């Protein structure tokens, strides 16, 4: 007899418990676990029965239904990732995982703020907590969930690093901590400690209470409101700050493999996308046409 992934009102099914245990063992972030549970739950709702009873034909019909419902390619691929994990690791059915199709799609270039726009956005924040949080996102290139998950103890001022635990894919890494960012975080520590919301063993950016972190939704709202106040017409979200961090480093001549490490990208191809939006890098390249000197140039008149 199979067990449903959808829990009863007062209990969690063994299948759901097993999926959670498999994700926790691999140190998946809380957000990733929520997404995977939701996406496997989509399949259960579609089938009207436990997802571990799915057949190859069921999966085919499910993906067709998702496409007909108008889901975007990134969303559909995210669902495929969740289901592949479920079939491979939780119920040991890799044959079914191979029936799931990932769709290719052209990646659009990310919106990037100029240094002046970035300065205006940070200057438009309404309090020290918001300024510190957005400065971490931009100054260290962190994902929004990574900013929300930071604890006070993750600041390593001796080695000038930020410890990022359980980033994307459950991987830990070190992010850069600049002198100016450290100074700002120290200001925030003094103010937050005075308010009684910052504790040495607590969250760096608490939410509505000191013992819970700020939500990613709240961080998104902070960025949007700051961009609006700064009169920035571009579509801006928390990830825009990360995009800007990488692009500005590339424009300043930082090696792309170093940027890959700082961002925590598993593949260099992902980081290479920023080469397409690094305007100053493109402008610094001398065209081979210019080297031919076909077009006579005006000589500067002596002053």
Q: Which residues are the active-site residues?
A: 143, 168, 239, 242, 265, 274
The alpha carbon dihedral of 145, 243, 273, 76 has a sign of positive
Q: Do the beta carbons of residue 94 and residue 87 sit within 8 Å?
A: yes
- For residue 260 the two structure tokens come to 């890959």
Give the C-alpha separation, 276 to 273, whole Å. 6
Task: Calculate the alpha carbon distances from 14 to 5, 8, 39, 48, 94 in Å.
Answer: 8, 11, 18, 18, 20
Give the C-alpha separation, 137 to 245, whole Å. 8
Give the C-alpha separation, 49 to 60, whole Å. 16
- For residue 18 the two structure tokens come to 């097993």
Number of Cβ within a 10 Å radius of residue 216: 17
- CA neighbor of 246 nearest in space, from 230, 237, 257: 257
- The secondary structure element, H or E, covering residue 163 is strand 161-164
- The dihedrals phi and psi of 103, each to the nearest 5 degrees, come to -100, 140
Q: Do the beta carbons of residue 205 and residue 129 sit within 8 Å?
A: yes
- Which residue is associated with the tokens 């996308």? 273
- For residue 117 the two structure tokens come to 């726009």
Q: Do the beta carbons of residue 120 and residue 114 sit within 8 Å?
A: no
Give the C-alpha separation, 59 to 260, whole Å. 35
């Amino acid at each position: 007899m199979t067990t449903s992934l959808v829990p009863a009102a007062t209990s969690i099914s063994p299948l759901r418990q097993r999926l959670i245990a498999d994700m926790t063992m691999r140190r998946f972030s809380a957000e990733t676990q929520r997404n995977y549970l939701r996406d496997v739950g989509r399949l259960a709702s579609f089938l009207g029965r436990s997802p571990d009873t799915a057949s190859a034909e069921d999966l085919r019909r499910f993906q067709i239904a998702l496409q007909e419902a108008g889901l975007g390619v990134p969303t559909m691929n995210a669902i495929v990732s969740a289901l592949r994990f479920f079939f491979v690791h939780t119920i040991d059915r890799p044959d079914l995982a191979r029936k799931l199709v990932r769709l290719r799609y052209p990646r659009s270039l990310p919106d990037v703020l100029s240094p002046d726009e970035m300065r205006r956005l940070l200057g438009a924040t309404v309090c020290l907590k918001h300024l510190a949080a957005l400065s971490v996102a931009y100054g260290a290139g962190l994902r929004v969930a990574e900013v929300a998950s930071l604890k006070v103890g993750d600041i390593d001022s001796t080695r000038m690093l930020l410890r990022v635990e359980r980033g994307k894919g459950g991987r830990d890494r070190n992010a850069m901590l600049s002198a100016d960012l450290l100074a700002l975080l120290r200001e925030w520590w003094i103010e937050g400690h005075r308010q009684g919301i910052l504790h040495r063993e607590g969250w760096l950016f608490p939410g509505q209470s000191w013992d819970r972190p700020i939500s990613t939704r709240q961080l998104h709202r902070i960025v949007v409101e700051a961009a609006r106040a700064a009169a920035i017409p571009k579509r801006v979200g928390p990830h825009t700050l990360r995009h800007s961090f990488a692009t500005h480093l590339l424009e300043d001549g930082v090696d792309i493999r170093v940027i890959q490490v700082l961002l925590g990208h598993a593949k260099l191809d992902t980081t290479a996308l920023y080469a397409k939006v690094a305007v100053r890098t493109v402008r610094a390249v001398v065209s081979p046409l210019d080297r031919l000197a076909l077009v006579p140039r005006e000589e500067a008149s002596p002053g």
